[in-house]
Amino acid sequence: MSADSLPAKPHAPSTLVLVACIVLIATTFRPGIVSVGPLLPAIILELGLSHTEAALLTVIPTLLMGLLALPAPWLAHRYGRDRVILAALLVLGCAIALRTFASSAGQLFAATAGVGAGIAIAGTLFSSYVKARAPGRLALFMGIYATAIGMGSTVAAASTGLLEQVLQGWRWASGAWVLPVLLAALAWLLVERRSLGNRPAAGNTPMPSMPWSNATAWLIALFFACNTVVFYALIAWLAPLYSELGESTASAGLILASYTLGFMVANPVFGFLSRSDDRRLPLAASSSIALLGSLAMAVSPNSMPLLIVPIAAFGTGGAFTLAMTLPLDNASTPEEASAWNAFVMLISYVLGAAGPLLVGYLRDSTGNFQSALWMLVGVGAVMLLVTPFMQPYHQRVHRQCNP
C-alpha cells in the first residue's frame, strides 16, 4: 500500500479543509468539456466541421476518461496517488490553454485529448482519495464530490456563451477555464503537501486486480454507461439543439445551464437520502425521473424547456451520485476502490462516448435532433431496467453462504 493512500490520522486534513479540497478539485472536472457546447456553432462555422466531427470535441475526452482509467491505479501504485493527481491537473490546465490557440481541427482535437487525459487520471484516483479520507460517510462525501462536479458544469454552461460575447470569440471563452484548474492545483499542493513529499512504497504490496469476472461490477458499469450516454449527449448537443429551435447563443447556454443546475441539485439530495447500502430504490427513482424528463423532451422539446430539461437532469444527477458510490460500496480498501472505479469508468465512459457521436450522426442523417432524443429515451429505459439487479454486497454474500 502506498504511503500517500493511507488516511494518516496525524496529518489528515480537517473535515472543513477536506470538503473545500474536494470542491475545488471536482469543479475542474467538467468545464473543459461542458464549455464546448455553447461554443459549438462558432467552432463549426470557423473550422468547417460537420456535426459528427464536432461531436468529437465531447467524444474524445469522454472516451479517454474510460481508456485512461485503466492505467490510473498502476500509476498511483508506482508514483503515489496524490502526485499523479497533481500531474493530471497540470496536464488538464495545459490542454485547456493550448486549445485556445488551435489553428486547425487537428490541433483542436489533440488539445481536447489532453483535456480528457487530465480528467481521466485525476477523476479515477480522486474517488479513492475520498474513500481514504471519509470511509464511513461515502454517500455523503460522494454527494459533495458530485455536487461540485455539477457546480463546475453549471457555471461553465451558464457563463461560456456570455464570455464568448464579452471576449468576442470562442477561443478566449474556452481558454478562461484554465484558471480554476490552476487554483485547484495550488490547493492540492497546500492540502496534501506532506503526502506529495512521501516516497511511494509501490513494491511492498500487490496491486488489487480489476473485477473483470464480477457480475455486479458489469451491472454497475452498464448502469453508469447508460447514464453517461445521456449526460454527455445532452451536454454536447442541448445548446445547438435549442439554437436550431430559435434560441440565441446566450439563451441556449442558459438552457444548458438549467440542465447542469438540475444535475448539481440532485447530487447532495440523493447522497443524503441514500443512507443504506441497498441503493436500489433511489437508483430506480433517479432513473425514472431521468426517463420522464427525456421523454418530455422527445415529445415536445419547445414546451417549457426550463422545466423539462432540469427534470431530466435531476434524475441523471442523482443516478450519477449513486453510480459513483457503488464501486466504493464493493471495495474494502482505497486501493481496491481504485481498481473497481477504474473498471467501471473504463466500461462506462468508452460506451458513454458513443452518445454525443450518435446524436451528431443522427442530426447529420435526418436534418434534426428528433430521432436522437428518442434514442436517449431508449437508453434511459435500459438504465431503469438494470436497477432491480443492483443487490448490495452484504446481501449477495449472505445469499451465497445460505443457499
In a domain, 6, yes or no: no
Lowest mean pLDDT among 65-69, 220-224, 332-336: 332-336
Band (pLDDT 50/70/90 cuts) for residue 401 is very low
In a domain, 228, yes or no: yes
CB 90 within 8 A of CB 119: no
Residue 357 vs residue 289, higher pLDDT = 289
Distance, CA of 379 to CA of 229 (rounded, Å): 8
CB 149 within 8 A of CB 240: no
Instruction: At 122, list the grid cell.
Output: 485525476
Band (pLDDT 50/70/90 cuts) for residue 66 is confident
What phi-psi label fits residue 246: left (phi over 0), alpha (psi between -120 and 50 degrees) or beta? left
In a domain, 1, yes or no: no
Lowest mean pLDDT among 51-60, 96-105, 348-357, 387-396: 387-396
Instruction: At 102, list the grid cell.
Output: 488551435
What percent of the chain shows pLDDT beyond 70? 89
In a domain, 204, yes or no: no
CB 93 within 8 A of CB 181: yes
In a domain, 205, yes or no: no
Residue 146 vs residue 383, higher pLDDT = 383
In a domain, 142, yes or no: yes
Distance, CA of 167 to CA of 170 (rounded, Å): 8
In a domain, 290, yes or no: yes
Can you give the C-alpha Rg of the chain in angstroms? 20
Q: For 387, phi and psi rounded to 5 degrees?
A: -60, -35
Distance, CA of 108 to CA of 54 (rounded, Å): 10
144-156 average pLDDT score: 86
Q: CATH number of the domain that 324 lies in?
A: 1.20.1250.20
What phi-psi label fits residue 391: left (phi over 0), alpha (psi between -120 and 50 degrees) or beta? beta
- What total of structural domains would you count in the chain? 1
Separation of CA 273 from chain center: 21
Q: Which residues contact 193 (CB under 8 A, 6 or more apart)?
A: none
Single out the residue of 25, 220, 34, 228 nearest to residue 141, CA to CA: 25
Distance, CA of 301 to CA of 237 (rounded, Å): 13
Residue 381 vs residue 160, higher pLDDT = 381
In a domain, 4, yes or no: no
Alpha-carbon distances of 108 from 69, 95, 128, rounded to whole Å: 23, 10, 32
Read off the amino acid at residue 283: L
pLDDT, position 205: 62
CB 387 within 8 A of CB 264: no
Asked if pLDDT for residue 16 goes beyond 50, the answer is yes
Query: pLDDT of 349-360, one tens digit each?
Result: 888 888 888 998
Look up the domain containing 66 and give its range: 12-197+211-401
Give the chain's mean pLDDT.
Answer: 85
Q: Which residues contact 396 (CB under 8 A, 6 or more apart)?
A: 216
